[in-house]
Amino acid sequence: MKIEIPFPHQEVAQTRTLPGSFYADPEVFEAEKQDIFLKSWHYACPISALADNGAYVTIQILNQQVFLVRDQNDEIRGFFNVCPHRGHQLLEGSGQKRVITCPYHAWSYDLTGRLVAAREGGKSRTLVGSGICLKSVQVGTLASFVFVNLDATAEPFADYTAELARSINNVIPDLTDYKVRESVGYFGGDYDCNWKIAIDNYLECYHCETAHKSFCDMMDVKNSTFSLHDNFIYQFVPSGGKETNAAYSINLKEDALDGHFWFLFPNIIFSIFPGTKNFSVSWVDPVSAVSSLRKFVTMTPDGISKEREAARSRWGLEVLNEEDRQLCRSVQKGMVQRGFDMGYYLVDPRGNLSEDTVRHFHRIYLKWMFPVVSKV
Ligand code: FES
Ligand SMILES: [Fe+2]
């Protein structure tokens, strides 16, 4: 599908933002599926869901069904969840299997994806051993999280995230002691907006003083910094150092104090929030041109206070997230107004108000969507 940029290329992601139509047009959304999301990394599940040999988890990315399984040699593998025979879905939900048998005609596959049994009659014994196997997807891990990529030719996860993983490790070297907690973290909910509006909003703290009063009371946002990298953006927001503040109470001796936020293109966010020690992955699932879903999974060390962790999560969901959802909802309406064509950036390479981060996101976006134009 050929999408045109309806404005001079020299302006887009330079002095002006992406055009409004890019945030609302179903054709642009279709192109993004093909050029970005079917080629990019997606959160799949916590590693703990694949603890034992044969444990499997099914997931869906856009309309693509995938499953992950730990094979007999302890390797985590990922496959499209579709039978090569005639296309029936192989697995549902999660569980444990030694052999995967298709419910339709009972072809069976081992945990490396090879066809190992098929009901063949008479003289036709040609299928098993003929090389028929499930089509694999790429798998990678970071901290206790598993990620998948549907594109077999995509850069391996360890390479794509090498610099990011170093940055995270510098900030939180004891992450191996953290575990994913089922009950911790929160579902950020429906965003009535294009996925890029949620990401744009996430990436700048220019709106913090106007929209996030309690966040600003807890943090020292005026001294926040950011750094731009090839495929990620790191933002640091220092603690306000207040045990009592308008968000939730902080234990200045034991808690995580500063905010650390890593955005990995296109839609994954790793973060540390002040409060009981935590490390989260969250992401903005693109649902349609005008809607998306924000989801979170959080890791914590052993022995933290469940009540205080719940208070932190509750504030995140009911206050911060809600403030952002409302902003994003209004901006979505703005994208189709005749009075709006494309926005402006407040650019300041060092300032805490800067929207350089949003511009950087747009530049990476253009590279994926318009590789030829981006080189000019
Ligand atoms: S579709 Fe799976 S065995 Fe026929
Ligand atoms: Fe915000």
Q: What distance in angstroms lies between residue 365's CA and the mean position of ligand 2's atoms? A: 21
Does residue 258 share a domain with residue 111?
no
Q: Whose CA is nearest to atom 4 of ligand 1?
A: 105
Of 10-19, 122-131, 189-198, 292-301, the one with minimum mean pLDDT is 122-131
pLDDT at 350: 75
* Candidate from 85, 99, 116, 128 with most ligand 1 atoms within 8 A of CB, to mutate: 85
Does residue 348 share a domain with residue 218?
yes
Does residue 226 share a domain with residue 82?
no
Which residue matches tokens 């966010």? 269
Residue 157 lies in a domain: no
Ligand nearest to the CA of 320: 2
pLDDT at 157: 98
* Candidate from 65, 79, 80, 83 with most ligand 1 atoms within 8 A of CB, to mutate: 83
pLDDT range class, residue 352, cuts 50, 70, 90 = confident
Whichever domain contains 344, its CATH number is 3.90.380.10
Q: At residue 49, does pLDDT exceed 80?
A: yes
Residue 51 lies in a domain: yes
pLDDT at 233: 98
Q: At residue 375, does pLDDT exceed 70?
A: no
Distance CA 105, CA 126 (A): 16
Q: At what angle do helices 356-369 and 195-203 cross, to 10 degrees?
A: 140
Residue 320 lies in a domain: yes
Q: What distance in angstroms lies between residue 90's CA and the mean position of ligand 1's atoms? A: 8
Mean pLDDT of the chain: 94
Does residue 360 share a domain with residue 279?
yes
The separation between CA 366 and the C-alpha centre of its own chain, rounded to angstroms, equals 19
Q: At residue 40, does pLDDT exceed 70?
A: yes
This prediction has a pTM of 0.95
pLDDT at 351: 82
Of 75-84, 100-109, 279-288, 306-315, the one with minimum mean pLDDT is 306-315
- Each residue of 184-195: pLDDT tens digit? 556 777 899 999
Q: What distance in angstroms lies between residue 91's CA and the mean position of ligand 1's atoms? A: 12
Of 212-216, 276-280, 368-372, the one with minimum mean pLDDT is 368-372
Does residue 336 share a domain with residue 197?
yes
Of 19-33, 222-236, 343-357, the one with minimum mean pLDDT is 343-357
Of 19-28, 122-131, 306-315, the one with minimum mean pLDDT is 122-131
| Domain's final residue, options 121, 149, 177 | 149
The number of beta carbons lying within 10 Å of the beta carbon of residue 337 is 9
CA-closest candidate to residue 275, choices 329, 214, 361, 199: 214
pLDDT at 255: 93
Q: What distance in angstroms lies between residue 370's CA and the mean position of ligand 1's atoms? A: 39
| Domain's final residue, options 119, 149, 179 | 149
* Candidate from 80, 86, 99, 101 with most ligand 1 atoms within 8 A of CB, to mutate: 86
Does residue 236 share a domain with residue 111?
no
Residue 78 lies in a domain: yes
Give the residues surrounding ligand 1 with Cβ less than 6 Å away: 83, 85-88, 102, 104-107
Q: What distance in angstroms lies between residue 111's CA and the mean position of ligand 1's atoms? A: 17
Whichever domain contains 48, its CATH number is 2.102.10.10
Residue 209 lies in a domain: yes
Distance CA 28, CA 206 (A): 27
Q: At residue 156, does pLDDT exceed 80?
A: yes
Q: Whose CA is nearest to atom 3 of ligand 1?
A: 105
Does residue 142 share a domain with residue 170?
no
Does residue 325 share a domain with residue 181?
yes
- Atom of ligand 1 minimally distant from the CA of 107: 3
- Each residue of 223-276: pLDDT tens digit? 999 999 999 999 999 999 999 999 999 999 999 999 999 999 999 999 999 999
Residue 118 lies in a domain: yes
Mean per-residue pLDDT for 356-376?
88
pLDDT range class, residue 35, cuts 50, 70, 90 = very high
- With a pLDDT cut of 90, the percent of the chain lying above it is 84
Angstrom distances, CA of residue 295 to CA of 22, 116, 212, 275: 23, 38, 20, 20
Residue 101 lies in a domain: yes
Distance CA 225, CA 258 (A): 12
Domain with 86, as residue range(s), is: 41-149
- Each residue of 74-120: pLDDT tens digit? 999 999 999 999 999 999 999 999 999 999 999 999 999 999 999 88
Mean per-residue pLDDT for 196-218?
97
pLDDT at 275: 94
Does residue 319 share a domain with residue 208?
yes
Q: At residue 1, does pLDDT exceed 60?
A: no
Looking at the structure of the chain, the number of domains it has is 2
Distance CA 2, CA 17 (A): 20
| Domain's final residue, options 149, 177, 209 | 149
- Atom of ligand 1 minimally distant from the CA of 83: 2
pLDDT at 359: 97
Q: At residue 63, does pLDDT exceed 70?
A: yes
**Is the CB of residue 272 less than 8 Å from the CB of residue 258?**
yes
Instruction: Give start and end residues of each alpha helix (H) in the chain.
Output: 26-32, 157-160, 162-171, 195-203, 208-211, 213-218, 306-315, 321-334, 356-369, 371-375
Does residue 247 share a domain with residue 99?
no
Distance CA 202, CA 184 (A): 21
**Is the CB of residue 221 less than 8 Å from the CB of residue 205?**
yes
Residue type, 92: E
- With a pLDDT cut of 70, the percent of the chain lying above it is 97
pLDDT range class, residue 372, cuts 50, 70, 90 = confident
Does residue 254 share a domain with residue 124?
no
Does residue 111 share a domain with residue 46?
yes
Residue 375 lies in a domain: no
